[in-house]
Amino acid sequence: MNYFVSENIFAFNSGTEHSQAKRVRLFNEKQPNSAVYVTRNYNRFLDRDRQGLDLTASDVLNMYDFFQGTTNVERKEQSLRLLDQIPLDEYHIIGHGANYSTLNHAGREIARINVMPATIGLVNEILYYDRAGNTLSRENYDWRGFKSSIDFFNPDGTLAVQQFLNQAGAPVIEIVHMNVKGKRYPTMWKLLNFRGVNLRFQSENELFLYFLNILANDNQGSTFVSDRRSVDLIVAEIIGAKAKFAYLHDIHTPDVSKPQKGALYDSYKVALIEKVQNFDGILVPTQGQRTDLTVRFPKATVRVAPDTYVNDATLAAAPVGLEQRVKNRLAFVGRLSPEKRPEDAIKVLAEVVKQVPDATLEFIGYAANTEILPNLKKQAEDAGLQDKVIFNEYGNYARVGEVLDNAQVLLQVSLGEGFGMNLVEGFAHGVPAISYDINYGARDLVTEGVDGYVVPSASANKAAERIVELLQNDEQWNAFSTAAYARTQSFSGDAMYANWQTALK
Protein backbone atom coordinates (compact mmCIF):
# COMPACT_ATOMS: atom_id res chain seq x y z
CA MET A 1 0.00 0.00 0.00
CA ASN A 2 1.10 3.55 -0.75
CA TYR A 3 -0.01 6.10 1.83
CA PHE A 4 0.19 9.71 0.64
CA VAL A 5 0.00 11.76 3.84
CA SER A 6 -1.28 15.30 4.34
CA GLU A 7 -3.23 17.50 6.74
CA ASN A 8 -6.60 17.74 5.09
CA ILE A 9 -8.73 18.16 2.01
CA PHE A 10 -10.23 21.63 1.84
CA ALA A 11 -13.16 23.34 0.20
CA PHE A 12 -10.52 25.40 -1.66
CA ASN A 13 -7.48 23.29 -2.45
CA SER A 14 -4.05 24.32 -3.65
CA GLY A 15 -1.95 22.60 -6.27
CA THR A 16 -0.50 20.38 -3.54
CA GLU A 17 -3.85 18.77 -2.78
CA HIS A 18 -4.72 18.48 -6.47
CA SER A 19 -1.36 16.83 -7.18
CA GLN A 20 -1.74 14.38 -4.31
CA ALA A 21 -5.30 13.51 -5.32
CA LYS A 22 -4.42 12.95 -8.97
CA ARG A 23 -1.59 10.65 -7.91
CA VAL A 24 -3.92 8.59 -5.71
CA ARG A 25 -6.42 8.28 -8.55
CA LEU A 26 -3.67 7.25 -10.98
CA PHE A 27 -2.19 4.61 -8.67
CA ASN A 28 -5.60 3.09 -8.03
CA GLU A 29 -6.41 3.14 -11.72
CA LYS A 30 -3.20 1.24 -12.54
CA GLN A 31 -3.42 -1.08 -9.53
CA PRO A 32 -6.74 -1.07 -7.61
CA ASN A 33 -6.53 -0.41 -3.86
CA SER A 34 -2.84 0.46 -3.99
CA ALA A 35 -2.96 4.07 -2.75
CA VAL A 36 -4.73 6.15 -0.11
CA TYR A 37 -4.90 9.90 0.52
CA VAL A 38 -4.34 10.06 4.31
CA THR A 39 -5.40 13.12 6.32
CA ARG A 40 -4.87 14.16 9.93
CA ASN A 41 -7.32 16.99 10.61
CA TYR A 42 -10.86 16.54 11.87
CA ASN A 43 -13.15 17.57 9.02
CA ARG A 44 -16.91 17.08 9.15
CA PHE A 45 -17.09 18.04 5.48
CA LEU A 46 -14.40 15.66 4.23
CA ASP A 47 -16.90 13.50 2.33
CA ARG A 48 -18.07 16.60 0.46
CA ASP A 49 -14.62 18.08 -0.07
CA ARG A 50 -13.01 14.90 -1.41
CA GLN A 51 -15.58 14.86 -4.22
CA GLY A 52 -14.19 18.20 -5.40
CA LEU A 53 -10.93 16.34 -6.05
CA ASP A 54 -12.72 13.45 -7.80
CA LEU A 55 -11.76 11.05 -5.02
CA THR A 56 -13.94 8.16 -3.91
CA ALA A 57 -14.60 7.41 -0.24
CA SER A 58 -12.17 4.47 -0.41
CA ASP A 59 -9.45 6.76 -1.82
CA VAL A 60 -9.35 8.77 1.42
CA LEU A 61 -8.57 7.78 5.01
CA ASN A 62 -8.87 10.30 7.85
CA MET A 63 -7.49 9.66 11.33
CA TYR A 64 -10.64 10.72 13.17
CA ASP A 65 -12.88 8.72 10.83
CA PHE A 66 -10.67 5.70 11.41
CA PHE A 67 -10.97 5.81 15.20
CA GLN A 68 -14.67 6.76 15.03
CA GLY A 69 -15.39 3.82 12.75
CA THR A 70 -17.02 6.09 10.16
CA THR A 71 -14.78 5.56 7.12
CA ASN A 72 -17.44 3.80 5.05
CA VAL A 73 -20.63 5.58 6.12
CA GLU A 74 -22.87 6.57 3.23
CA ARG A 75 -24.49 9.97 3.23
CA LYS A 76 -28.05 10.24 4.54
CA GLU A 77 -29.43 13.76 4.69
CA GLN A 78 -30.50 14.71 8.22
CA SER A 79 -33.28 17.28 8.32
CA LEU A 80 -33.38 19.41 11.45
CA ARG A 81 -37.13 18.70 11.71
CA LEU A 82 -36.64 14.93 11.65
CA LEU A 83 -34.12 14.51 14.45
CA ASP A 84 -34.86 11.39 16.51
CA GLN A 85 -33.46 13.07 19.63
CA ILE A 86 -36.15 15.79 19.57
CA PRO A 87 -39.68 14.55 20.49
CA LEU A 88 -41.87 17.10 18.73
CA ASP A 89 -44.83 16.49 21.05
CA GLU A 90 -42.82 18.09 23.84
CA TYR A 91 -40.29 20.34 22.09
CA HIS A 92 -41.02 22.94 19.43
CA ILE A 93 -38.80 23.89 16.49
CA ILE A 94 -39.26 27.51 15.40
CA GLY A 95 -37.83 28.61 12.06
CA HIS A 96 -35.91 31.90 11.75
CA GLY A 97 -35.23 32.00 8.03
CA ALA A 98 -33.02 29.71 5.96
CA ASN A 99 -29.97 29.66 8.22
CA TYR A 100 -31.19 28.55 11.63
CA SER A 101 -34.08 27.46 13.85
CA THR A 102 -34.52 27.50 17.62
CA LEU A 103 -35.67 24.74 19.93
CA ASN A 104 -38.16 25.71 22.62
CA HIS A 105 -39.31 23.78 25.67
CA ALA A 106 -41.94 24.96 28.18
CA GLY A 107 -41.79 28.46 26.74
CA ARG A 108 -37.98 28.74 26.99
CA GLU A 109 -35.46 28.73 24.16
CA ILE A 110 -33.04 25.93 25.02
CA ALA A 111 -31.08 25.50 21.78
CA ARG A 112 -30.25 26.88 18.36
CA ILE A 113 -30.02 24.58 15.32
CA ASN A 114 -27.81 25.96 12.58
CA VAL A 115 -28.36 24.79 9.02
CA MET A 116 -25.51 23.15 7.12
CA PRO A 117 -24.05 25.57 4.53
CA ALA A 118 -25.41 25.28 0.98
CA THR A 119 -28.26 22.99 2.07
CA ILE A 120 -31.94 23.42 2.83
CA GLY A 121 -32.84 22.50 6.39
CA LEU A 122 -30.07 20.00 7.07
CA VAL A 123 -28.46 19.97 10.52
CA ASN A 124 -25.01 21.48 10.87
CA GLU A 125 -24.76 22.03 14.63
CA ILE A 126 -26.98 22.31 17.69
CA LEU A 127 -26.03 24.72 20.48
CA TYR A 128 -27.65 24.14 23.89
CA TYR A 129 -28.05 26.97 26.43
CA ASP A 130 -28.49 27.20 30.19
CA ARG A 131 -31.13 29.44 31.78
CA ALA A 132 -28.75 32.40 31.68
CA GLY A 133 -28.23 32.00 27.94
CA ASN A 134 -24.70 30.63 28.21
CA THR A 135 -23.70 27.94 25.74
CA LEU A 136 -23.40 24.56 27.47
CA SER A 137 -22.55 22.33 24.54
CA ARG A 138 -22.47 22.12 20.76
CA GLU A 139 -23.34 18.99 18.81
CA ASN A 140 -21.58 18.86 15.45
CA TYR A 141 -23.03 16.93 12.52
CA ASP A 142 -21.05 15.32 9.75
CA TRP A 143 -21.90 16.11 6.11
CA ARG A 144 -23.05 12.51 5.86
CA GLY A 145 -25.86 13.18 8.32
CA PHE A 146 -24.81 11.84 11.72
CA LYS A 147 -23.73 13.42 14.99
CA SER A 148 -19.95 13.31 14.86
CA SER A 149 -18.70 15.26 17.87
CA ILE A 150 -19.76 17.28 20.92
CA ASP A 151 -18.03 20.36 22.34
CA PHE A 152 -18.54 21.20 26.03
CA PHE A 153 -17.96 24.75 27.26
CA ASN A 154 -16.93 26.39 30.50
CA PRO A 155 -19.22 29.05 32.06
CA ASP A 156 -17.03 31.76 30.51
CA GLY A 157 -17.64 30.35 27.04
CA THR A 158 -14.22 28.78 26.55
CA LEU A 159 -13.89 25.24 25.26
CA ALA A 160 -13.48 22.60 27.98
CA VAL A 161 -13.76 19.17 26.36
CA GLN A 162 -14.31 17.82 22.84
CA GLN A 163 -15.69 14.33 22.32
CA PHE A 164 -15.67 12.48 19.01
CA LEU A 165 -18.32 9.79 18.67
CA ASN A 166 -18.74 6.43 17.03
CA GLN A 167 -21.93 5.47 15.22
CA ALA A 168 -23.50 4.31 18.48
CA GLY A 169 -22.97 7.80 19.93
CA ALA A 170 -20.23 6.74 22.38
CA PRO A 171 -17.09 8.90 22.69
CA VAL A 172 -13.94 7.29 21.24
CA ILE A 173 -11.63 10.33 21.29
CA GLU A 174 -11.61 13.08 23.91
CA ILE A 175 -9.61 16.30 23.83
CA VAL A 176 -9.18 18.18 27.12
CA HIS A 177 -8.59 21.94 27.06
CA MET A 178 -6.85 23.59 30.03
CA ASN A 179 -5.88 27.10 31.09
CA VAL A 180 -2.19 27.70 30.35
CA LYS A 181 -0.85 31.14 31.28
CA GLY A 182 -4.25 32.72 30.90
CA LYS A 183 -5.20 31.06 27.60
CA ARG A 184 -7.10 27.85 26.83
CA TYR A 185 -5.19 25.19 24.96
CA PRO A 186 -5.83 21.55 24.08
CA THR A 187 -3.50 19.71 26.46
CA MET A 188 -4.49 16.05 26.27
CA TRP A 189 -5.83 13.68 23.62
CA LYS A 190 -7.47 10.51 24.93
CA LEU A 191 -8.14 7.47 22.79
CA LEU A 192 -10.92 5.57 24.53
CA ASN A 193 -11.27 1.80 24.53
CA PHE A 194 -9.36 1.34 21.32
CA ARG A 195 -8.69 -2.35 20.85
CA GLY A 196 -9.47 -2.78 24.53
CA VAL A 197 -7.22 -0.08 26.01
CA ASN A 198 -7.33 3.65 26.84
CA LEU A 199 -4.38 5.75 25.68
CA ARG A 200 -3.26 9.33 26.28
CA PHE A 201 -1.30 11.66 24.00
CA GLN A 202 0.10 15.14 24.56
CA SER A 203 -0.64 16.41 21.05
CA GLU A 204 -2.63 15.67 17.94
CA ASN A 205 0.60 14.82 16.14
CA GLU A 206 1.41 12.16 18.75
CA LEU A 207 -1.99 10.63 18.09
CA PHE A 208 -1.38 10.92 14.35
CA LEU A 209 1.94 9.08 14.66
CA TYR A 210 0.20 6.32 16.60
CA PHE A 211 -2.39 6.11 13.81
CA LEU A 212 0.26 5.94 11.07
CA ASN A 213 2.13 3.26 13.00
CA ILE A 214 -1.10 1.24 13.09
CA LEU A 215 -1.32 1.52 9.30
CA ALA A 216 2.29 0.44 8.92
CA ASN A 217 1.80 -2.50 11.28
CA ASP A 218 -1.55 -3.64 9.88
CA ASN A 219 -0.35 -3.32 6.26
CA GLN A 220 3.18 -4.70 6.20
CA GLY A 221 5.41 -3.51 3.35
CA SER A 222 3.71 -0.12 2.95
CA THR A 223 5.31 3.07 1.67
CA PHE A 224 4.54 6.48 3.18
CA VAL A 225 4.97 9.80 1.35
CA SER A 226 4.66 13.11 3.19
CA ASP A 227 3.02 15.67 0.89
CA ARG A 228 2.95 18.54 3.40
CA ARG A 229 5.87 19.93 5.38
CA SER A 230 3.65 20.10 8.46
CA VAL A 231 3.55 16.30 8.59
CA ASP A 232 7.20 15.59 7.73
CA LEU A 233 8.18 15.16 11.37
CA ILE A 234 5.41 12.61 11.98
CA VAL A 235 6.10 10.58 8.83
CA ALA A 236 9.81 10.59 9.66
CA GLU A 237 9.08 8.80 12.95
CA ILE A 238 6.88 6.00 11.58
CA ILE A 239 8.03 2.56 12.69
CA GLY A 240 7.66 -0.45 10.43
CA ALA A 241 7.23 1.24 7.04
CA LYS A 242 8.85 -0.32 4.00
CA ALA A 243 9.97 3.15 2.89
CA LYS A 244 9.38 6.81 3.74
CA PHE A 245 9.65 9.81 1.43
CA ALA A 246 9.01 13.54 1.56
CA TYR A 247 7.61 15.09 -1.61
CA LEU A 248 8.53 18.77 -2.11
CA HIS A 249 5.92 20.41 -4.33
CA ASP A 250 7.47 23.88 -4.20
CA ILE A 251 10.78 25.67 -4.30
CA HIS A 252 12.63 25.32 -0.99
CA THR A 253 13.86 28.90 -0.55
CA PRO A 254 12.32 32.38 -0.83
CA ASP A 255 15.60 33.48 -2.46
CA VAL A 256 14.52 31.99 -5.77
CA SER A 257 17.58 33.19 -7.67
CA LYS A 258 19.97 31.33 -5.34
CA PRO A 259 18.47 27.87 -4.78
CA GLN A 260 21.80 26.37 -3.68
CA LYS A 261 22.60 29.06 -1.12
CA GLY A 262 19.41 30.99 -0.30
CA ALA A 263 17.91 30.81 3.18
CA LEU A 264 15.86 27.64 3.55
CA TYR A 265 12.17 27.87 4.42
CA ASP A 266 11.89 26.76 8.04
CA SER A 267 9.27 24.18 7.15
CA TYR A 268 11.74 22.37 4.86
CA LYS A 269 14.39 21.88 7.53
CA VAL A 270 12.84 18.72 8.97
CA ALA A 271 13.02 16.75 5.73
CA LEU A 272 16.29 18.20 4.41
CA ILE A 273 18.33 18.57 7.60
CA GLU A 274 16.87 17.47 10.93
CA LYS A 275 15.34 14.13 9.89
CA VAL A 276 16.98 13.56 6.51
CA GLN A 277 18.34 10.18 7.65
CA ASN A 278 14.81 9.02 8.50
CA PHE A 279 13.68 9.33 4.88
CA ASP A 280 14.58 6.89 2.14
CA GLY A 281 14.38 9.75 -0.31
CA ILE A 282 13.36 13.32 -1.03
CA LEU A 283 11.15 13.57 -4.10
CA VAL A 284 10.97 16.70 -6.28
CA PRO A 285 9.17 17.46 -9.56
CA THR A 286 12.14 18.64 -11.66
CA GLN A 287 15.71 17.68 -12.42
CA GLY A 288 16.78 21.26 -11.76
CA GLN A 289 15.64 21.15 -8.15
CA ARG A 290 17.15 17.69 -7.73
CA THR A 291 20.52 19.05 -8.87
CA ASP A 292 20.36 22.05 -6.53
CA LEU A 293 19.34 19.99 -3.52
CA THR A 294 21.93 17.29 -4.17
CA VAL A 295 24.69 19.91 -4.22
CA ARG A 296 23.34 21.63 -1.12
CA PHE A 297 22.38 18.58 0.93
CA PRO A 298 24.75 15.74 0.03
CA LYS A 299 23.30 13.50 2.76
CA ALA A 300 19.89 13.53 1.10
CA THR A 301 18.87 11.02 -1.54
CA VAL A 302 16.94 13.16 -4.03
CA ARG A 303 14.84 11.70 -6.85
CA VAL A 304 12.56 13.18 -9.50
CA ALA A 305 8.86 12.28 -9.63
CA PRO A 306 6.31 14.21 -11.74
CA ASP A 307 3.85 16.50 -9.98
CA THR A 308 0.97 15.93 -12.38
CA TYR A 309 -0.23 14.09 -15.45
CA VAL A 310 -2.86 14.47 -18.17
CA ASN A 311 -5.61 11.85 -18.17
CA ASP A 312 -6.44 9.73 -21.19
CA ALA A 313 -9.75 11.50 -21.87
CA THR A 314 -8.04 14.88 -22.14
CA LEU A 315 -5.26 13.45 -24.31
CA ALA A 316 -7.85 11.99 -26.67
CA ALA A 317 -10.04 15.11 -26.84
CA ALA A 318 -10.37 16.95 -30.14
CA PRO A 319 -8.17 20.05 -30.39
CA VAL A 320 -9.84 23.42 -29.82
CA GLY A 321 -9.11 25.66 -32.77
CA LEU A 322 -8.47 29.38 -32.83
CA GLU A 323 -11.94 30.11 -34.18
CA GLN A 324 -13.50 28.39 -31.14
CA ARG A 325 -11.67 30.55 -28.62
CA VAL A 326 -12.34 34.01 -27.23
CA LYS A 327 -10.34 36.34 -29.44
CA ASN A 328 -7.22 37.75 -27.75
CA ARG A 329 -8.02 36.16 -24.36
CA LEU A 330 -5.18 35.66 -21.87
CA ALA A 331 -5.53 33.30 -18.90
CA PHE A 332 -4.00 33.16 -15.43
CA VAL A 333 -4.60 29.80 -13.72
CA GLY A 334 -3.61 29.39 -10.09
CA ARG A 335 -3.93 30.65 -6.56
CA LEU A 336 -4.13 34.42 -6.17
CA SER A 337 -1.28 34.87 -3.70
CA PRO A 338 1.84 37.02 -3.39
CA GLU A 339 4.28 34.38 -4.68
CA LYS A 340 2.16 33.96 -7.84
CA ARG A 341 2.37 37.71 -8.55
CA PRO A 342 -1.09 38.06 -10.15
CA GLU A 343 -0.57 41.83 -10.17
CA ASP A 344 2.10 41.27 -12.83
CA ALA A 345 -0.50 39.64 -15.07
CA ILE A 346 -2.48 42.89 -15.02
CA LYS A 347 0.73 44.83 -15.76
CA VAL A 348 1.31 42.58 -18.77
CA LEU A 349 -2.26 43.13 -19.99
CA ALA A 350 -1.80 46.90 -19.69
CA GLU A 351 1.11 46.65 -22.13
CA VAL A 352 -0.67 44.23 -24.47
CA VAL A 353 -3.76 46.43 -24.94
CA LYS A 354 -1.58 49.23 -26.28
CA GLN A 355 -1.24 47.17 -29.46
CA VAL A 356 -4.19 44.76 -29.12
CA PRO A 357 -6.99 46.94 -27.71
CA ASP A 358 -9.54 44.13 -27.37
CA ALA A 359 -7.26 41.84 -25.37
CA THR A 360 -8.73 40.51 -22.11
CA LEU A 361 -7.38 38.62 -19.10
CA GLU A 362 -9.24 35.90 -17.20
CA PHE A 363 -8.19 34.80 -13.71
CA ILE A 364 -9.27 31.50 -12.19
CA GLY A 365 -8.09 30.61 -8.71
CA TYR A 366 -9.01 31.30 -5.11
CA ALA A 367 -7.65 34.28 -3.21
CA ALA A 368 -5.09 33.41 -0.53
CA ASN A 369 -6.17 36.31 1.68
CA THR A 370 -8.97 38.86 1.95
CA GLU A 371 -6.93 41.78 0.65
CA ILE A 372 -5.55 40.43 -2.60
CA LEU A 373 -8.72 40.32 -4.71
CA PRO A 374 -9.87 43.89 -3.85
CA ASN A 375 -6.32 45.08 -4.52
CA LEU A 376 -6.26 43.41 -7.93
CA LYS A 377 -9.63 44.87 -8.84
CA LYS A 378 -8.44 48.33 -7.81
CA GLN A 379 -5.26 47.87 -9.84
CA ALA A 380 -7.33 46.97 -12.90
CA GLU A 381 -9.62 49.97 -12.33
CA ASP A 382 -6.71 52.37 -11.85
CA ALA A 383 -5.25 51.15 -15.13
CA GLY A 384 -8.59 51.55 -16.91
CA LEU A 385 -8.80 47.79 -17.42
CA GLN A 386 -11.80 47.00 -15.23
CA ASP A 387 -13.81 45.85 -18.28
CA LYS A 388 -10.93 43.72 -19.55
CA VAL A 389 -10.09 41.70 -16.41
CA ILE A 390 -12.35 38.81 -15.44
CA PHE A 391 -12.19 37.21 -11.99
CA ASN A 392 -13.62 33.71 -11.58
CA GLU A 393 -14.46 32.16 -8.25
CA TYR A 394 -12.48 29.06 -7.52
CA GLY A 395 -14.00 26.06 -9.26
CA ASN A 396 -13.27 22.47 -10.09
CA TYR A 397 -11.03 21.25 -12.87
CA ALA A 398 -13.93 21.22 -15.34
CA ARG A 399 -14.21 24.99 -14.91
CA VAL A 400 -10.44 25.36 -15.34
CA GLY A 401 -10.76 23.44 -18.60
CA GLU A 402 -13.43 25.86 -19.82
CA VAL A 403 -11.19 28.84 -19.10
CA LEU A 404 -8.26 27.21 -20.94
CA ASP A 405 -10.39 26.22 -23.93
CA ASN A 406 -11.32 29.90 -24.28
CA ALA A 407 -7.77 31.22 -23.95
CA GLN A 408 -5.20 31.99 -26.60
CA VAL A 409 -2.26 32.46 -24.22
CA LEU A 410 -1.49 31.19 -20.71
CA LEU A 411 0.47 33.59 -18.54
CA GLN A 412 2.75 32.49 -15.68
CA VAL A 413 4.33 35.33 -13.72
CA SER A 414 5.19 33.61 -10.43
CA LEU A 415 8.13 34.47 -8.22
CA GLY A 416 9.04 30.78 -8.16
CA GLU A 417 7.43 27.38 -8.71
CA GLY A 418 8.11 23.79 -7.79
CA PHE A 419 6.95 22.63 -11.20
CA GLY A 420 4.18 24.55 -12.95
CA MET A 421 1.09 22.36 -13.11
CA ASN A 422 -0.71 25.25 -14.78
CA LEU A 423 1.64 25.06 -17.78
CA VAL A 424 0.92 21.37 -18.27
CA GLU A 425 -2.80 22.02 -17.95
CA GLY A 426 -2.54 24.82 -20.51
CA PHE A 427 -0.66 22.63 -22.98
CA ALA A 428 -3.31 19.92 -22.53
CA HIS A 429 -5.83 22.45 -23.87
CA GLY A 430 -3.57 23.65 -26.68
CA VAL A 431 -2.69 26.98 -25.05
CA PRO A 432 0.80 28.39 -25.73
CA ALA A 433 2.55 29.64 -22.59
CA ILE A 434 4.40 32.83 -21.76
CA SER A 435 6.33 32.37 -18.52
CA TYR A 436 8.79 34.33 -16.49
CA ASP A 437 12.18 32.64 -16.27
CA ILE A 438 11.97 31.16 -12.78
CA ASN A 439 13.00 28.17 -10.72
CA TYR A 440 11.54 25.66 -11.31
CA GLY A 441 9.72 24.19 -14.28
CA ALA A 442 9.50 27.00 -16.82
CA ARG A 443 12.46 25.93 -18.92
CA ASP A 444 11.74 22.24 -18.27
CA LEU A 445 8.23 22.58 -19.66
CA VAL A 446 8.28 25.37 -22.25
CA THR A 447 10.14 24.71 -25.49
CA GLU A 448 11.32 28.15 -26.49
CA GLY A 449 9.83 29.35 -29.75
CA VAL A 450 7.88 26.12 -30.21
CA ASP A 451 5.02 26.02 -27.69
CA GLY A 452 5.73 29.24 -25.85
CA TYR A 453 8.34 31.67 -24.61
CA VAL A 454 10.29 32.17 -21.40
CA VAL A 455 11.05 35.83 -20.69
CA PRO A 456 13.14 37.48 -17.96
CA SER A 457 11.48 37.40 -14.56
CA ALA A 458 9.39 40.49 -13.69
CA SER A 459 9.67 41.77 -17.27
CA ALA A 460 6.08 42.68 -18.12
CA ASN A 461 7.23 44.46 -21.31
CA LYS A 462 9.01 41.38 -22.68
CA ALA A 463 6.06 39.16 -21.81
CA ALA A 464 3.71 41.57 -23.57
CA GLU A 465 5.90 41.65 -26.69
CA ARG A 466 5.75 37.87 -27.01
CA ILE A 467 2.00 37.80 -26.37
CA VAL A 468 1.33 40.45 -29.03
CA GLU A 469 3.48 38.47 -31.45
CA LEU A 470 1.26 35.41 -30.94
CA LEU A 471 -2.04 37.26 -30.97
CA GLN A 472 -1.24 39.03 -34.23
CA ASN A 473 0.02 36.00 -36.13
CA ASP A 474 -2.61 33.27 -36.54
CA GLU A 475 -0.23 30.95 -38.38
CA GLN A 476 2.32 31.13 -35.59
CA TRP A 477 -0.36 30.66 -32.93
CA ASN A 478 -1.69 27.56 -34.68
CA ALA A 479 1.80 26.08 -34.85
CA PHE A 480 2.39 26.79 -31.15
CA SER A 481 -0.99 25.32 -30.18
CA THR A 482 -0.30 22.15 -32.17
CA ALA A 483 3.09 21.85 -30.44
CA ALA A 484 1.45 22.37 -27.03
CA TYR A 485 -0.95 19.51 -27.65
CA ALA A 486 1.95 17.31 -28.78
CA ARG A 487 4.01 18.24 -25.71
CA THR A 488 1.20 16.97 -23.50
CA GLN A 489 1.73 13.39 -24.65
CA SER A 490 4.88 13.20 -22.51
CA PHE A 491 2.72 13.84 -19.43
CA SER A 492 0.48 10.81 -19.82
CA GLY A 493 -0.67 8.76 -16.86
CA ASP A 494 1.44 5.81 -18.02
CA ALA A 495 4.58 7.96 -18.06
CA MET A 496 3.92 9.43 -14.62
CA TYR A 497 3.10 6.06 -13.07
CA ALA A 498 6.29 4.51 -14.44
CA ASN A 499 8.37 7.40 -13.11
CA TRP A 500 6.79 7.14 -9.66
CA GLN A 501 7.36 3.39 -9.50
CA THR A 502 11.03 4.00 -10.17
CA ALA A 503 11.25 6.86 -7.64
CA LEU A 504 9.66 4.82 -4.84
CA LYS A 505 11.99 1.84 -5.17
What pLDDT, on a 0 to 100 scale, did the predictor assign at position 395?
Answer: 61
Residues in the chain with pLDDT values less than 50: none
| Secondary structure (3-state) at 123 | strand
Query: What does the alpha-carbon distance between residue 119 and residue 125 come to, in Å, rounded to a whole number?
Result: 13
Mean pLDDT value across the chain: 96
Signed CA dihedral, 412, 418, 419, 422: sign only: negative
Query: Alpha-carbon distance 7 to 17, whole Å?
Result: 10
pLDDT at position 107: 86
Integer Rg of the chain from CA: 26
Are the C-beta atoms of 404 and 333 separated by less than 8 Å? yes
- pLDDT, tens only, 352-371: 999 999 999 999 998 989 99
| Torsions phi, psi for 375 (to 5 deg) | -65, -40
Q: Can you point out the beta strands (E) in 429-505?
A: 433-436, 452-455
pLDDT score of 43: 98
Dist CA 329 CA 471 (whole Å): 9
Helices within 397-445 (DSSP H only): 397-406, 421-428, 442-445
Buried b (16+ CB within 10 A) or exposed e, 420-444: bbbbbbbbbbbbbbbbbebbbbbee
Task: Give the C-alpha separation, 141 to 159, whole Å.
Answer: 18
pLDDT tens-digit series, residues 472-481:
999 999 999 9
- 421-428 vs 474-488: helix axis angle to the nearest 10? 110
Interval 72-119: pLDDT, tens: 999 999 999 999 999 988 899 999 999 999 999 988 999 999 999 999
Cβ neighbors of 399 (< 8 A, separation 6 or more) are 364, 392
DSSP-assigned beta bridge partners for residue 112: 102, 127
pLDDT tens-place string over residues 376-421: 999 999 999 999 999 987 666 678 999 999 999 999 999 999 999 9
